[in-house]
Amino acid sequence: MQTITQYTLTDQMDYQGTPVLNCQIRYPRFDTACGQDAQWQVNEFYRSMSEEKGAYCRSSLYPEAVSGLEYSRAGNFPFFPYEFDVGYNVTFNEECFASLYFDQYEFTGGAHGSTIRTSQTWDLETGRQLTLGDFYPDDPDYIKEIQEWIEYEIAGRLKAGPSTYFDDYPELLRSTFQAGNFYLTPEGIVIYYQQYDIAPYSSGITEFLLPFSGTDS
């Protein structure tokens, strides 16, 4: 198991005395006995990621927020500061393996903001980021089988209660499937879909657990 320390970058950006953008970026630092080179690689990955997101706030979102403020002033209607918030959740941390996901929330006006999820699963002996295929080394049809399992799960959810998915979810779950959209838990592999991929905004980020008992792990 690794020791994980959270670091936070915060920045409130003003324009002519008015706050227009609040940025908060949380990222982890790993301390592990599994491999010093691997530890450095993983920590550098997240340090660089946090710097890139900070640069995105300054170079992209801030000019947009200033334009939004000026537009609201010209139209004499309220302006709500833009928000950029990145947080993470460690879902697996055992022996020399760790898995986590990041949710990146942006609010740029309108009725609500949007969230994008990314995830990484690490072998902290080698510093290698594991892929979904690493858990199905002898199964060339694993993606097809996972998609069939997800379709079965959705059908069960719809029968059991008022779950909301788009009517054409069988096609969408295949066309929007991304093999990198997964993370580990002690119970198994979680596959997730982004907002609007297979369900309305109100359904959020949809998740499906594939128990380890059903994988080759």
Does 42 have pLDDT greater than 80? yes
Q: Do the domains 132-214 and 3-129 match in fold?
A: no
CA 217, chain centre distance (Å):
23
Does 94 have pLDDT greater than 50? yes
What's the whole-number average pLDDT of the chain? 94
Per residue in 14-24, pLDDT (tens digit) is 999 999 999 99
Delimit the domains of the chain by residue range.
Answer: 3-129, 132-214
Categorize the per-residue pLDDT at 98 as very low, low, confident or very high, splitting at 50, 70 and 90: very high
Q: Please answer whether residues 130 and 136 qualify as being in contact, where contact means their C-beta atoms are separated by less than 8 angstroms.
A: no
**C-alpha span between 43 and 37 (Å, rounded):** 10
Mean pLDDT for the stretch of residues 102-120: 94
Per residue in 115-171, pLDDT (tens digit) is 999 999 999 999 999 999 999 998 999 999 999 999 999 999 998 877 889 999 999
Does 216 have pLDDT greater than 60? no
**C-alpha span between 55 and 183 (Å, rounded):** 27
Helix (H, G, I), strand (E, B) or coil at 208: strand
Does 90 have pLDDT greater than 80? yes
- Beta sheet of 97-107, edge-to-edge order: 3-15, 18-31, 82-94, 97-107, 114-123, 128-129
Does 214 have pLDDT greater than 80? no
**Radius of gyration from C-alpha coordinates of the chain:** 20
What is residue 171's predicted lDDT score, i.e. its pLDDT? 97
Does 202 have pLDDT greater than 60? yes
Which of 177, 166, 171, 175 is CA-nearest to residue 208? 177
What is residue 160's predicted lDDT score, i.e. its pLDDT? 83
Does 105 have pLDDT greater than 80? yes
What is residue 215's predicted lDDT score, i.e. its pLDDT? 44
Does 217 have pLDDT greater than 50? no
Q: The domain 132-214 is classified under which CATH number: 2.60.40.290, 3.90.640.20, 3.60.20.10, 3.40.50.1220?
A: 3.90.640.20
Portion of the chain with pLDDT greater than 90, in percent: 88
Portion of the chain with pLDDT greater than 70, in percent: 98
Please tell me the class of the 3-129 domain.
alpha beta
